Amino acid sequence: MKLKYLSAPYILWMTLFVVAPVFIVVIYAFSSATGGFTLENFAKMGDYVSVFSRSFLLALISTAVCIVIGYPVAYILSKVRSNLQRILSMLIMLPMWMNFLLRTYAWMSILENTGLLNRLLSLLGLPTLNIINTPAAIVIGMVYNFLPFMILPIYSVIVKIDRSLIEAAQDLGASAVAVFTKVIFPLSLPGVFSGITMVFVPAVSTFVISQLLGGGSNMLLGDLIEMQFLGAAYNPHLGSAIALVMMVIVMICMWVMNKFGAGGEEAVMI
């Protein structure tokens, strides 16, 4: 048996569960309820510009927060001894072993008006916070759930940086800041761009977090698509059009990130 035939199950799986669903979405997006060709579904998307802008804004904010938190964590993680690295890496991945829905419900208990956070603030004599059912709660939920996807790619790249490059820069008189800005950070950019992609894509399309932590009053693209397929406003053609446009936008973002990431290793300034 030729080796190429061993890929047949994989090709069949991809055809049934990836290519065929995308093909069906495209057909629904460009067709009307009567089955005829139409572009009306895309024209109706103009009514949901605020949903698009809110989704991308919150996804960008969450991604930026993940970078600010994740890069220092990944950098520190790469500097500790190997035994401790394995322990800390496991602790970072540990929440990911828990069900996504349960993790989001846990944050509801923390952020609600009578939740753990406000109880703690009351005990300390501080004013309580009204975070639940706000965009801030959605961002917190996104950052918590997607932060490991930022830390791990950056860490995996930094830990593989050739130590001789750092030693050469130090031998040439570069300060610690110069070594980081001229050597370590440019070489870690592929991990940063990979992390951005892995955080931004699920953040812009999530719907569970916005429903539970946003209270349904801060609709995102994922909520809008779900509403078109499962909600009272049943319109799978419009839902398919929105999903198709979002898919194209996400693919463009991924292409741009990969384009920048591919040149990250050439960004070291001597």
Rounded CA gap, 202 and 247, in Å?
11
pLDDT score, position 9: 86
Q: Please give the model's pTM, rounded to 2 decimal places.
A: 0.87
Residue 179 CB coordination number (10 Å): 18
CATH code of the domain occupying 48-266 = 1.10.3720.10
pLDDT tens figures, 87-116 = 999 999 888 888 888 999 999 999 998 889
**pLDDT reported for residue 253:** 80
What is the residue extent of each domain of the chain?
48-266
Helical ranges in the chain per DSSP H: 8-14, 20-29, 40-43, 49-79, 82-93, 100-111, 116-123, 135-158, 163-171, 176-179, 185-205, 208-213, 221-230, 236-262
Burial per residue of 31-51, b for 16 or more beta-carbon CB atoms within 10 angstroms, e otherwise: beeeeeebeebeeeeeebeeb
Q: What is the pLDDT of residues 26-68, one digit of tens each?
A: 999 999 988 899 999 999 998 999 999 999 999 999 999 999 9
